[in-house]
Structure 1
Amino acid sequence: MSEVRVHNLAISLDGFATGDGQSLEAPFGHAGERLHEWLVGTRFFHAADGLPGGTVGTENAFAERHEPGIGAEIMGAGKFGPPGWQDDPEWKGWWGPNPPFHSPVFVLTHRPRASVEMEGGTTYHFLDGTPQEAIDQARAAANGADIRVGGGPTVVREFLAEGLVDYAHIAQVPILLGRGVRLWDGLEALENTYDIEVVTSPSGITHLTLTAKIR
């Protein structure tokens, strides 16, 4: 059976995966781009933007695992757009006419709308359902490939809490945000259901991998 994976989710030392005050002008709130500078600098990210260069060390090795084998994506309303995007019938995500997913994307929202087909193979489907219902629909659309839970932190937390994630990569960035949306709240004793490995990098990023124990 296909796996459910999380890749390259960045958090601060105090566990925040996005800052406070998300808006159209500030997709990550007061955090800005500080959580993702490590990712933007990798060869993987440069290549995705058609640019040369980029780092090839530990960060790139983790970043490159983002794409292979993915057949569908699940994301929350907060990742798809700024607060209030549901009131704009023309809003089609942050990523322009040719989004980087190239697969079916299931957006969890309490205000679903008709599916939207984009360039490059991405189709947005809007679902008001449980995490398990989202996985069931994504798995049917993925044709045997894996499912990526893309965020934001609230969605990833919910999927982890229900034990629905098979593998997760969390990048802990050495900054303190103090406010925003935390990943770990309510996930006490996660180590009982996941094997957790830690890889430190000279850049200061700590990479945490969570692999589901045999159920």
Structure 2
Amino acid sequence: MGKVRVAGFGVSIDGFGAGPDQSLEHPLGKRGTELLSWFFPTRAFRSMMGQADGTDDRFADAAMKGFGAFILGRNMFGPIRDEWPDDTWKGWWGDNPPYHAPTFILTHHARDSIVMEGGTTFHFVTDGIESALAQAKAAAGNLDVKIGGGVSTVRQYLQAGAIDELHLALSPVVLGNGESLFAGIDLPGLGYRVTETTPMELATHVVLTR
């Protein structure tokens, strides 16, 4: 069986994994895209946008490879809150999302699964993080499961001790406010330790394992 991983998750110097006031105009909150400035020029990101250029970056490559299933929070799927008003919203990514694998959305409101182009199917899980993880592991087989975010979802799985490896891209950005990734979480107490630190031009990559 594969691992449960967070990969390529952008964090500001002051510990925020997203900016405030997420909306249709600001999917990662205000100034949240600054946390991914390291990722945008890479070949891995550019290929997701249908472009053939970009820089080689092993951390960017690893952020999307080797996964057989993904888990996302409701906010990562879209800006809609409360009950689904209809079936119109199908994610931020258009008809061909970048996941190309079963993707499980944590939500309190049931919705039928959505089959997208490119192999992505969105499944909506209403009975908690343990159920979503069990379904994702079953779908992934021998491949890894990626906890894709957002911040609240990563925090829940960290506190549950369910994440085997956590790769953070520490960006040279100070947000001042937003969604704190580690507030109130005792990482050493949960068994996590830093196993790799790699400074690069646009981010310092830190890997924690347990």
Q: Does the alignment reach a TM-score above 0.5?
A: yes
Who is 2:61 aligned against?
64
Who is 1:84 aligned against?
81
Distance of 1:110 and 1:207 partners within structure 2:
34
Aligned length: 209
Distance of 1:96 and 1:49 partners within structure 2:
11
Using the TM superposition, give the Cα deviation of residue 158 of structure 1 relative to its aligned residue in structure 2, in angstroms.
0.8
List, as ranges, runs of 4+ consecutive aligned residues in structure 1 with deviation greater than 4 Å.
Answer: none
**CA deviation map 1:152-181 (0-9, x unaligned):** 011011101111011110111111111111
- SS at structure 1 position matched to 2:30: helix
Counterpart of 2:88, as a letter, is E
Counterpart of 1:105, as a letter, is T
Answer with 186-195 or 1-10: which moved more: 186-195
Who is 1:179 aligned against?
177
2:26 aligned with 1:26: yes
Unaligned runs of 5+ in 1: none
Answer with 29-38 or 114-123: which moved more: 29-38
Using the TM superposition, give the Cα deviation of residue 89 of structure 1 relative to its aligned residue in structure 2, in angstroms.
2.4
* RMSD (CA atoms): 1.7
2:91 aligned with 1:93: yes
Distance of 1:67 and 1:196 partners within structure 2:
21
- SS at structure 2 position matched to 1:208: strand
Kindly, what percent of the aligned residue pairs are identical?
43
Distance of 1:138 and 1:202 partners within structure 2:
32
TM-score (normalizing by structure 1):
0.90
Using the TM superposition, give the Cα deviation of residue 26 of structure 1 relative to its aligned residue in structure 2, in angstroms.
1.2
Question: Which of the two has greater helix per residue?
Answer: 1
Unaligned runs of 5+ in 2: none
